[in-house]
């Protein structure tokens, strides 16, 4: 959509709320604000909403159920099935924007957010020299913002194929080839299985820290349901409850190079490491179709050096090594990020020195991201309305 947002008028003191990012989190907040009669403008740097989902690999499905993944105000169609595919998520986000008549401005990237000189609002610096003034700002640029590729020794001189998982689409280019996947989060695990099923001649999975693995569903009971039930319980209690459940539902893969983790499941979640939901990895490892190897230490003479001293020479290396939030340039000067670049306050909470600046979608809850951003959206909208009375731009009745 072209830039259609009207310029701020000096004779109009009320201001819209700007939502930076047109993914599930940003669209949810825009709807929740609109439902309260508050004008919200979504600024999306790409040409379409749901940009991150459009870039994901072909076989990706939500690991959360359709019913618990719908955003506020619009259920997901039953025809999408229980585990919604990537393309259907994109269709849903497009329909969500259209159905709720959300005001979206695409092709506009916000580079910096700062307080207005008079301290009554927020000034956004955006593409093309735009300066937009809002009563409040909601940053929803996403957890998977910038591909993070480790600076391994020798990486720049490596002549083989090396790409981040963000550039992986399907296994077709790797049929008949030897591939090393680095990283055993949900993305790395699923890509490894995808490569096996797509005909790669050999698939190795490089693991630095053994992950917690859970069944996506057991006898119809989705893992997400358990996540919802325990999300408010003490971390130590959930860790203790998870151990016997893991032993009952997930086989010991130690003899295949993947021991059970020595840290608690929920403790790891609180550190940002969501359990790996099994979509075929367990069977692939047990059958020897996916070989677990040590962590990557570097590259040398066309080979990959592993932490146990061995060397491998795959045809391609796919690095499922995560993403950076890349918020430093946008808001780093405001003192709202921790040492790891994460917002210190999320959802309806604001930092004491930045009232009216909200963040959503930057955590990985055990109960499901879509579900939690939907809940946060209503809380943020309520907080915005309470704190911005008299300054907010209202929609015509």
pLDDT in tens, 291-331: 999 999 999 999 999 999 999 999 999 999 999 899 999 99
Q: What is the mean pLDDT of residues 47-56?
A: 94
Quick one: pLDDT band at residue 394, thresholds 50, 70, 90? confident
Q: Tell me the pLDDT tens digit for each residue of 235-282.
A: 999 999 999 999 999 999 999 999 999 999 999 998 888 899 999 999
Q: Tell me the pLDDT tens digit for each residue of 110-134.
A: 999 999 998 889 999 999 899 999 9
Quick one: pLDDT band at residue 390, thresholds 50, 70, 90? low
What is the C-alpha separation between 314 and 168, in angstroms, rounded?
16
**Helix, strand, or coil (residue 370):** helix
Give 261's contacts (C-beta < 8 A, 6+ positions apart). 209, 210, 211, 212, 268
Between 237 and 1, where is the model more confident? 237
- 329-345 b/e with 16+ CB inside 10 Å = b? ebbeebebbeeeebbee
Which homologous superfamily is 148-319 in?
Answer: FAD/NAD(P)-binding domain (3.50.50.60)
> Same topology for domains 17-145+325-387 and 148-319, yes or no?
yes
Domain boundaries, the chain: 17-145+325-387, 148-319
Cβ distance 134 to 71 under 8 Å?
no
**Segments of 17-117 assigned E as strands:** 17-20, 40-44, 103-106, 110-115
Quick one: pLDDT band at residue 2, thresholds 50, 70, 90? very low
Q: Tell me the pLDDT tens digit for each residue of 328-345.
A: 999 999 999 999 899 999
Other beta carbons within 10 angstroms of residue 232's beta carbon come to: 8
What is the C-alpha separation between 317 and 307, in angstroms, rounded?
16
Other beta carbons within 10 angstroms of residue 2's beta carbon come to: 8
Give 382's contacts (C-beta < 8 A, 6+ positions apart). 36, 348
Considering the chain, what percentage of its residues have pLDDT values greater than 90?
A: 86
Of the candidates 222, 174, 128, 311, which has an alpha carbon nearest to the alpha carbon of residue 163?
A: 174
DSSP 5-24: PPPP-TT---BPEEEE--SH
Q: What pairs with residue 305 in β-bridges?
A: 298, 311
Give, for 297, the enclosing helix (H) or strand (E): strand 296-300
The mean of the pLDDT values for the chain is 93
**Does position 10 have pLDDT exceeding 70, yes or no?**
no
Q: Tell me the pLDDT tens digit for each residue of 207-244.
A: 999 999 999 999 899 999 999 999 999 999 999 999 99
Quick one: pLDDT band at residue 1, thresholds 50, 70, 90? very low
Task: Please tell me the predicted confidence (pLDDT) of residue 13.
Answer: 55
Task: Please tell me the predicted confidence (pLDDT) of residue 142.
Answer: 87
Radius of gyration of the chain (CA): 22
Task: Please tell me the predicted confidence (pLDDT) of residue 387.
Answer: 83
Task: Report the CATH number of the 17-145+325-387 domain.
Answer: 3.50.50.60
Quick one: pLDDT band at residue 397, thresholds 50, 70, 90? low
């Amino acid at each position: 959509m072209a830039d259609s947002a009207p310029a701020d008028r000096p004779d109009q003191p009320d201001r819209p709320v700007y939502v930076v990012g047109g993914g599930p989190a940003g669209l949810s907040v825009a709807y929740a604000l609109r439902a309260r009669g508050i004008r919200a403008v979504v600024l999306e740097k790409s040409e379409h909403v749901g940009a991150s989902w459009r870039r994901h690999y072909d076989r990706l499905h939500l690991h959360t159920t359709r019913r618990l993944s719908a955003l506020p105000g619009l259920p997901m169609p039953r025809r999408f099935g229980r585990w919604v595919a990537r393309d259907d998520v994109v269709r849903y986000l497009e329909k969500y924007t259209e159905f709720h008549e959300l005001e979206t401005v695409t092709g506009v990237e916000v580079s910096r957010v700062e307080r207005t000189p008079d301290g009554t609002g927020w000034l956004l610096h955006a593409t093309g020299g735009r300066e937009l003034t809002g009563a409040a700002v909601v940053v929803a640029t996403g957890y998977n913002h910038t591909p993070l590729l480790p600076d391994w020794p020798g990486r720049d001189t490596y002549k083989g194929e090396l790409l981040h998982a963000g550039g992986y689409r399907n296994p077709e280019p790797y049929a008949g080839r030897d591939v090393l996947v680095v990283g055993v989060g949900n993305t790395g695990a699923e890509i490894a299985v995808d490569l096996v099923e797509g005909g790669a001649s050999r698939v190795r999975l490089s693991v630095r820290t053994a992950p917690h693995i859970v069944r996506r569903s057991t006898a119809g009971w989705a893992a997400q349901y358990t996540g919802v039930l325990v999300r408010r319980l003490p971390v130590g209690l959930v860790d203790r409850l998870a151990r016997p459940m893991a032993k009952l539902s997930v086989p010991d893969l130690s003899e295949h190079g993947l021991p059970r983790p020595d840290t608690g499941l929920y403790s790891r979640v609180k550190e940002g490491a969501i359990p790996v939901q099994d979509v075929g990895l367990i069977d692939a490892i047990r059958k020897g179709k996916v070989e677990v190897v040590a962590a990557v230490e570097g590259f040398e003479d066309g080979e990959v050096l592993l932490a146990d001293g061995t060397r491998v020479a795959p045809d391609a290396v796919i690095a499922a090594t995560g993403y950076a939030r890349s918020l430093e340039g946008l808001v780093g000067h405001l003192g709202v990020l921790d040492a790891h670049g994460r917002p210190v306050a999320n959802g309806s909470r604001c930092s004491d020195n930045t009232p009216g600046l909200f963040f959503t979608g930057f955590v990985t809850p055990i109960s499901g991201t879509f579900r939690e951003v939907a809940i946060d959206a209503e809380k943020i909208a309520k907080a915005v309305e309470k704190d911005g009375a008299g300054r907010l731009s209202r929609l015509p009745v």
